[in-house]
Amino acid sequence: MKTSPQPATARVRARVERFHRHRVAGEWSGRELLSGRSPQPGDVRVDSNDYLALAGDERVAKRMADCLLGGQDQVVPEEDLTSHLRARAGVLCQSGWDANLGLLQAIADEHTPVYVDQLAHMSLAAGAKLARAPLRPFRHNDLGHLRRRIERHGPGVVAVDALYSTNGSLCPLAEMCDLVEETGCVLVVDESHSLGTSGPLGAGLVVELGLTGRVHFRIASLSKAFAGRAGFVAAQDPAFVPYFRLESFPAVFSSRLLPHDLAGLAATLEAVRTDEWRRDRLREVSAWVREEVAELGFDLEGSASQIVALQTGTERHTIDVRESLEEHGVFGSVFAPPATARNRSLIRLSLHCGLGDDDVTRIVEACRDVRDRFGVEPARP
């Protein structure tokens, strides 16, 4: 006798129940993974990507308020962002996710493999899947592995982050350009964590390294150093922009940015370009924290930036470490599956230029306490 299929409602319920049984009640023993007590005034917040401490900046808030109150003409800072990135063309998107998703969906297809660094942002792989492109991940920053993959599967799109959001390591961009040119691939570089913080006037790593003519597409979330809610795609070919506006699904099927968001972005861009002291201070605190935390014995996995991650391994151990940091008033962000591989969870400390010397000392002391209580190795199951 033919058995009737389980109703979809039951399958959905079973998935939700499995999550609660395995993760919430099982691995986490009923504790919260992502957050514990709420941060209070005086606590050290290193849980956002507001690297230049521009969230709530008066100049930005005023421009947004003026726009909302109808006192200013509408602005679309697309051209200014394009020239800031020293690109030939550029297009604003609703978010970094939409920029990556829409870009990969618009440039890849069934016949164009997408080679994505294992630590690159999930939105790149999601765009490749939407394009039904064969997805060929390669080991983090391993150009030999990438070359072998391309030799086997043919030229395609290579997608990397300039600065990796989970461990703060940098992509070897010049060598990547060499390989991409040699193999006839297209290069996409996600500058979400380097735009505003690196390069001349914060133009990003591709500009800093003199590679603008060699990188086909750059994307950035404008929710990190730009502290807003938008994304950007920079392209070398001006003809790409009208194509993208009509071929990228998020551009076609999702509502646009709001005028006051655009006004805020325009003001933020000015602040990013003007306030060099913010980048100087960010570099200073980042080097300081990296040096001290590495000296404590933590493996920073090659971080060369404002992102410093404590590798915690299992989710249970991540909760212990998070709580220990919180006891010192230090709030980082938890990364766990699906943002990491299983049992490769971590706590990211996103440093910013608003940190005082006392804050840095507190961060280091909190990390010392973690080391003394739990050791420096990530927990394995």
Ligand X SMILES: Cc1ncc(COP(=O)(O)O)c(C=O)c1O
Residue written as token pair 């390069």:
199
| Residue 245: half-sphere exposure toward Cβ, Cα within 13 Å | 9
Minimum CB separation of residue 340 from ligand X in Å reads 13
Minimum CB separation of residue 3 from ligand X in Å reads 43
Minimum CB separation of residue 165 from ligand X in Å reads 4
Backbone angles phi, psi at 91, to 5 degrees: -145, 135
Helix axis angle, 357-374 relative to 315-327, nearest 10°? 140
Residues 51, 160: Cα–Cα separation, whole Å: 21
Minimum CB separation of residue 269 from ligand X in Å reads 16
| Residue 58: half-sphere exposure toward Cβ, Cα within 13 Å | 0
Nearer to ligand X, 27 or 78 (CB): 78
Contacts with ligand X by CB under 6 A lie at 95-97, 100, 121, 123, 161, 165, 190, 192-193, 221, 223, 231
Cβ atoms of 376 and 299 within 8 Å: the answer is yes
Minimum CB separation of residue 122 from ligand X in Å reads 8
Nearer to ligand X, 123 or 314 (CB): 123
Local structure of residue 201 (DSSP, 8 states): G
Amino acid letter, 310: L
Q: Which H or E run includes 10?
A: helix 8-18
> Angle CA(358)–CA(312)–CA(172) in degrees, nearest 5?
85
Nearer to ligand X, 171 or 310 (CB): 171
Q: What burial class does residue 116 get, using C-beta atoms within 10 Å of its C-beta: 0-12 exposed, 13-18 middle, 19+ buried?
A: buried
Minimum CB separation of residue 98 from ligand X in Å reads 7
Nearer to ligand X, 72 or 118 (CB): 118
Cβ atoms of 62 and 270 within 8 Å: the answer is no
Minimum CB separation of residue 194 from ligand X in Å reads 9
Nearer to ligand X, 227 or 293 (CB): 227
Copy the structure tokens of residue 78: 């697309």
Minimum CB separation of residue 95 from ligand X in Å reads 3
Nearer to ligand X, 261 or 359 (CB): 261
Nearer to ligand X, 190 or 326 (CB): 190
Residue nearest to ligand X (CB): 96
Nearer to ligand X, 251 or 364 (CB): 251
Nearer to ligand X, 137 or 231 (CB): 231
Local structure of residue 27 (DSSP, 8 states): I
Minimum CB separation of residue 348 from ligand X in Å reads 10
Nearer to ligand X, 161 or 261 (CB): 161
CA separation (Å) from 307 to 37, 55, 106, 285, 343?
23, 18, 31, 11, 20
Beta bridge partners of 219: 190, 233
Copy the structure tokens of residue 21: 């049984």
Q: Taking Cα atoms as reference points, which of 171, 244, 206, 1 lies closest to residue 84?
A: 206
Amino acid letter, 69: L
Minimum CB separation of residue 189 from ligand X in Å reads 10
Residues 153, 295: Cα–Cα separation, whole Å: 42
